[in-house]
């Protein structure tokens, strides 16, 4: 019996020790911040000494959190030492258990998959409030360009973005010059001319490098918007110059478009033309490594890819936004799609963990996010890492990105410009459909299948995909 008592005593003692151990530090409630980032990582690096093994030392986000903590007497933000990096298997498990970080990083694209689960705090009302960290009584939403903010399927805003992602082509100027190309292409006519020059130079032995290989589907998204640009006016219902999933499906249900259309086939023709410059075995081709080694003339990528390529190529690297699709290349061309940046990125979500700590905690999280989005703090946070553009693009200080920041600044000030992903007829219908698309494109680019095969593959699953989405979000048309 006394043994049992002993065990019980130890149990009680251990429980007590554990529960008190959790909140020793001055009694402030801790709010955990996930770090992460769309094209860099805002968690602190292990040391601030720069070296070849630690090339991008960074701790500005943590510094900003400390500055904010000094102004608070009830809460303190703790930046986690590593991020979940948007890994959905870990994140969904933590969210359903209520143990996710209070402020979580993941891509905005997943929002419609998670609506109705009560995992995130809607930020819609907060966006209409004044951001105290910006002068002049500005509303929080006014920091953002109206075209860049996009609501979830239920009309609410669930995340706030803290940087702008760079996107565009990366050129090895040494190879381009050897092939006789001296100007970075600004239109697709020029781009294809550049490709032909590279191909010819390789054929006659002037250069040894491959012409072009892509690193992701960003270029396809820009081409898609370029081809469908003329439809935005017709399909966009809320006047934000972008077509949301709901608007696309409504237009589809009203018989205004289908996958099998002249536009989509034109889009596939352009994609195939672009892919005709890929190396053999392109699916297995290590694009980033070969580009860094100077064995590939052109690729595309985000800010992080540009910085890493810069390490290998130095001043030989030039970057430029995706060129404009001009009427000379395509009958659907002529629409301006913002160059240089794909718009807002690095989305932070206030999670159910924060609301579990009370409404005060949610307010504190929102306040911290407002603090981080205020231009003077935001530019520090983003520029010190140097993988993306700050929300206020003119605040960019990373030299490599200057041409992109300039292009984006120029384009986004015009009303006629469409955002990079204003219309996306394959990426707007959930992960399963875009996976199907990306996998079939792999076959298409290898020349194993033709455009009609892609069209019929997508058409065969599209009606079901659309109905499932509509049922899930209770959409009626």
Partner 1 sequence: MEGKTVKRKRITVKQTALVITVAALCLTVLFPFWLLAVKSFKSFEQEIASPISLSFPLFFENYSVAWAYVKE
Partner 2 sequence: MVKTQKRAVKETLTAFAWLILPAGLMLIFCLYPAAAAILRSFMDYAPSGSRWIWFGNFSALFNDAVFRKSLLNMLILVSGGLLTGNVATLFLAECLFNMRNRKASKAFRYLFLIPSLVPGMVTALLWKNVILSGDADGLMNRLTGLFGAPPNAWYFSERLSKASIVLTNFPWVGGISFLIYLAGLQSIRESCLEAAELDGVTVWKRVWHIDLPLLLGQIKYFLIIGIVGGVQVFDMQLIITDGGPNYSTTVPGYLLYLKTYGYSAVGEASAIGVLLFAVTFTAMTIANKVLARAQKDAA
Let me know the angle formed at the C-alpha of 469 by 465 and 471, rounded to the nearest 5 degrees: 115
Residues numbered 234 to 263 that lie near partner 1 (CB under 8 A) are: none
116 binding partner (options partner 1, partner 2, none; Cβ < 5 to 8 Å by kind): partner 2
Q: How far is the CB of 337 from partner 1 (least distance, A)?
A: 34
Nearer to partner 1, 81 or 359 (CB): 81
465 binding partner (options partner 2, partner 1, none; Cβ < 5 to 8 Å by kind): none
48 contributes a contact to partner 1 by CB under 8 A: no
As a whole number of angstroms, the distance between CA 108 and CA 457 comes to 27
124 contributes a contact to partner 2 by CB under 8 A: no
Nearer to partner 1, 165 or 313 (CB): 313
Contact 243, 422 (CB under 8 A): yes
55 binding partner (options partner 2, partner 1, none; Cβ < 5 to 8 Å by kind): partner 1
Which residue from 353, 38, 299 is spatially nearest to 170, judged by alpha carbons? 299
Q: Determine which residue in the list 1, 17, 18, 52 makes contact with partner 1, applying CB under 8 A.
A: 52
Element (H, E) at 390: none
CA distances from 99 to 81, 106, 239, 357, 457 (A): 16, 16, 38, 11, 40
As a whole number of angstroms, the distance between CA 110 and CA 469 comes to 13
Segment near partner 1 (CB under 8 A), from 49-57, 226-234, 395-403, 454-462? 49-57
Contact 351, 100 (CB under 8 A): yes
Segment near partner 1 (CB under 8 A), from 100-108, 230-238, 285-293, 449-457? 285-293
CA distances from 149 to 140, 157, 364, 397, 422 (A): 12, 8, 22, 24, 11
- Classified as helix, coil or strand, 339 is coil
Nearer to partner 1, 44 or 377 (CB): 44
53 contributes a contact to partner 1 by CB under 8 A: yes
- Classified as helix, coil or strand, 302 is strand
The dihedral of CA 84, 88, 91, 94: what is its sign? negative
Segment near partner 2 (CB under 8 A), from 240-248, 283-291, 328-336, 370-378? 283-291
Site of tokens 């900003």: 64
Q: What is the x/- site pattern for partner 1, positions 63-102, by CB under 8 A?
A: ------------------x---------------------
Nearer to partner 1, 95 or 175 (CB): 175
269 binding partner (options partner 2, partner 1, none; Cβ < 5 to 8 Å by kind): none
Binding site for partner 2 (CB under 8 A): 88-89, 92, 96, 113, 116-117, 280-281, 283-286, 290, 430-432, 435, 439, 442-443, 446, 448, 472
């Amino acid at each position: 019996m006394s043994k049992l008592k002993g065990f019980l005593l130890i149990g009680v003692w251990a429980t007590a020790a554990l529960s008190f151990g959790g909140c020793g530090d001055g009694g402030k409630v801790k709010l955990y911040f996930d770090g992460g980032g769309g094209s860099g990582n805002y968690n602190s690096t292990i040391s601030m000494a720069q070296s070849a093994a630690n090339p991008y030392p960074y701790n500005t986000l943590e510094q900003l959190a400390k500055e904010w903590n000094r102004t608070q007497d009830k809460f303190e933000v703790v930046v986690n030492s590593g991020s979940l990096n948007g890994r959905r298997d870990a994140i969904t498990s933590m969210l359903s258990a209520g143990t996710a970080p209070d402020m979580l990083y993941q891509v905005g694209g997943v929002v419609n998959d998670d609506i109705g689960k009560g995992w995130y705090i809607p930020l819609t009302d907060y966006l209409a409030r004044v951001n105290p960290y910006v002068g002049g009584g500005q509303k929080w939403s006014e920091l953002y360009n109206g075209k860049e903010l996009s609501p979830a399927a239920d009309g609410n805003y669930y995340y706030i973005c803290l940087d702008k992602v760079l996107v565009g082509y990366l050129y090895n100027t040494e190879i381009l010059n050897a092939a006789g190309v001296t100007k970075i292409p600004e239109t697709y006519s020029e781009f294809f001319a550049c490709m032909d020059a590279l191909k010819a130079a390789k054929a006659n032995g002037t250069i040894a490098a491959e012409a072009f290989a892509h690193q992701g589907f960003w270029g396809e998204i820009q081409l898609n918007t370029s081809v469908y640009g003329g439809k935005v006016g017709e399909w966009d219902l809320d006047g934000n110059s972008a077509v949301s999933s709901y608007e696309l499906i409504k237009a589809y249900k009203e018989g205004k478009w289908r996958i099998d259309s002249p536009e989509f086939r034109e889009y596939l023709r352009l994609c195939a033309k672009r892919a005709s410059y890929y190396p053999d075995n392109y699916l297995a081709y290590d694009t980033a490594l070969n580009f860094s080694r100077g064995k590939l003339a052109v690729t595309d990528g985000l800010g992080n890819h540009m910085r890493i390529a810069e390490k290998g190529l130095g001043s030989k690297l030039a970057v430029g936004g995706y060129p404009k699709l001009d009427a000379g290349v395509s009958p659907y061309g002529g629409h301006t799609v913002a160059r240089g940046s794909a718009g807002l990125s690095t989305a932070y979500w206030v999670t159910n963990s924060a609301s579990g700590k009370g409404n005060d905690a949610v307010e504190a999280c929102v306040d911290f996010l407002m603090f981080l989005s205020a231009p003077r703090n935001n530019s520090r946070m983003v520029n010190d890492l140097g993988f993306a553009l700050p929300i206020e693009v003119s605040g960019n200080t990373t030299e490599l990105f200057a041409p992109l920041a300039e292009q984006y600044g120029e384009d986004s000030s015009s009303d006629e410009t469409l955002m990079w992903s204003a219309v996306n007829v394959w990426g707007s219908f959930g992960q399963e459909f875009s996976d199907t698309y990306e996998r079939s494109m792999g076959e298409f680019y290898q020349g194993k299948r033709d455009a009609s095969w892609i069209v019929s593959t997508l058409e065969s699953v599209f009606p079901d995909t659309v109905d499932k989405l509509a049922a899930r979000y209770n959409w009626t048309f």
